[in-house]
Amino acid sequence: EAGSGVEWDKETLLEKDRQYLWHHITPHNPNPMIGVSGEGSWLTDIDGNRYFDGMSGLWCVNVGHGREEIAQAAAEQMKTLAYFPPYHSHVPGIRLAEKVNEWLEGGYRIFFSNSGSDANEVAFKIARQYHHQNGEPTRFKFISRHRAYHGNSMGALGATGQANRKTKYEPLGTGFQHIAPPYCYRCPFGQKEGDCRMQCAEAYEDVINWEGAETVAAVIMEPVITGGGVIVPPENYMKRVREICDKYGVLMIVDEVICGFGRSGQRFGHQNFGVRPDIVTMAKGITSAYSPLSATAVREDMYEVFKKGGDSHFRHVNTFGGNPASCAVALKNIEILEREQLVERSASLGESLRGKLEALKDHPLVGDIRTFGLIAGIELVEDKQSKAPAAPDKLAHVISECKKRGLLIGKNGDTVPGFNNVLTLSPPFVTTEEELDFIVLTLGEALAGLLVPAEGA
Ligand code: PMP
């Protein structure tokens, strides 16, 4: 079709890309991959090269690429009703709210937005307003963690605990305090794994007291810090934080943007830890990224204080929030997850991946391997004794060697000064055992390249 761009060759596309497009994270990348198609767990670029999508895009294409029935669901909804303002209702929105509540095991109200960042902004605003209307208007602070990522907007970035993402944009949304993450490999409290008093969780009580409980609105946490380096907490960490929150009337916001919708091996990450959050935020996996959508789920009884009319309204609207086609896509995506039992499959693939990754643990530069559901982080060090974080060029080498062999993997971004040393994996739930073998074998080959002595050495 003339004008569609399909007729352009690669050089023309790259020329126009360099001329017009502003990329995310690396705006001046002169040689971006140009993806053209996807099927299952595999992507094809403009040169016809095939790659295994070891990160499911950005931790999101959970049901895999090329799902015809999702495209159909979007097309049908767009033909039937493209748009309806979100202060009214529509059929896919109603059905999806019921379904999300069911996946959360009941008891929540669902507010739809467009992105993970949006969902967290909504959570912060609801938490503050809730306290206001409950007669505690001084509760405005949020406690988050260093290394966490909660989004790119001024509030969500305020909650984010990765210094290099924040400098140059400050001042951000204020009122965000950060505490040390539950990082057992490098315990911030100097304890040995399995032999600690979980000071990482107890720290919440200290911070709440030091700040003054009457000023603290909520804590926000991912069940497992994902993009910040796959930091898996001790088993009872979330439960202990929940207890502390209850003791001080502090709300618990759980960011399930990555962990939600099966990535953790359960429907939601927090379900692995036996806690009930007050607010749950979700995005990515809700549509497997076929269309933008996010949600903020709020405890039913909290919703009561917003129902009284007038001043109690939550005066927040965004035009595209809960877009009908996105809701239809989410419903089809969840139907696929249920029909193909992909949450169970994510759990068993995750177990299998954990076992297979053992093969890499004796590599001299592999400091720690951490997994959670179908998420893995491989922390590279200069040597196992000192645990000095591996230099960024070593990670770049592994990533590029994997790519040469047809495997796309990720790493925690260039965001935590001195600690950009965790390779990440988050493959689609439709990955096969053979493909897991391919991932581990390829990683092994790429890591082996780090041991070749430099010429002349
Ligand atoms: N929370 C977490 C845990 C995330 O990983 C992300 C995105 N990587 C976000 C929030 C923000 O989501 P979005 O990019 O859709 O705004």
Closest ligand 1 atom to residue 153 Cα is 16
What does DSSP say about strands 279-282 and 251-255: parallel, antiparallel, or unpaired? parallel
The values of phi and psi at residue 115, to 5°, are -140, 170
Give CA–CA dist 423/421, Å, rounded: 7
Ligand 1 pocket check for 257: Cβ under 6 Å: yes
Q: pLDDT by residue for the chain (457 residues), tens digit each?
A: 445 666 789 999 999 999 999 999 887 888 899 999 999 999 999 999 999 999 999 999 999 999 999 999 999 999 999 999 999 999 999 999 999 999 999 999 999 999 999 999 999 999 999 999 999 999 999 999 999 999 999 999 999 999 999 999 999 999 999 999 999 999 999 998 778 999 999 999 999 999 999 999 999 999 999 999 999 999 999 999 999 999 999 999 999 999 999 999 999 999 999 999 999 999 999 999 999 999 999 999 999 999 887 789 999 999 999 999 999 999 999 999 999 999 999 999 999 999 999 999 999 999 999 999 999 999 999 999 999 999 999 999 999 999 999 999 999 977 888 899 999 999 999 999 999 999 999 999 999 999 976 555 4
CA of 312 to the centre of ligand 1 (A): 29
Ligand 1 pocket check for 256: Cβ under 6 Å: no
Identify the pLDDT of residue 232. Answer: 98
DSSP β-bridge partners for residue 281: 255, 296
CA of 157 to the centre of ligand 1 (A): 10
Unique residue bearing structure tokens 């400091």: 367
Amino acid at 357: L
- Residue 95: closest CA among 332, 446, 395: 332
Reported pTM: 0.97
Ligand 1 pocket check for 221: Cβ under 6 Å: no
DSSP β-bridge partners for residue 220: 253
Does residue 358 sit in helix, strand or coil? Answer: helix
417-444 burial code (b ≥16 CB/10 A, e <16)? eebbbbbbbbbbbbbeeebbebbbebbe
The preferred substitution site among 257, 270, 318, 326 for testing ligand 1, maximizing ligand atoms within 8 Å of CB, is 257
Ligand 1 pocket check for 54: Cβ under 6 Å: no
What does DSSP say about strands 176-179 and 422-425: parallel, antiparallel, or unpaired? unpaired
Enter the ipTM: 0.99
Ligand 1 pocket check for 117: Cβ under 6 Å: yes
CATH among 2.60.40.10, 3.30.360.10, 3.40.640.10, 3.40.50.880 for 68-339: 3.40.640.10
Handedness of CA 334, 335, 336, 341 (dihedral sign): positive
Query: Domain coordinates of the chain in residue numbers?
Result: 33-63+342-451, 68-339
Identify the pLDDT of residue 3. Answer: 55
Topology agreement, domain 33-63+342-451 and domain 68-339: no
Q: Whose CA is nearest to atom 13 of ligand 1?
A: 116
The preferred substitution site among 56, 222, 224, 284 for testing ligand 1, maximizing ligand atoms within 8 Å of CB, is 284
Identify the pLDDT of residue 1. Answer: 47
Give CA–CA dist 385/147, Å, rounded: 23
For domain 33-63+342-451, the question of CATH label 3.90.1150.10 is answered with yes
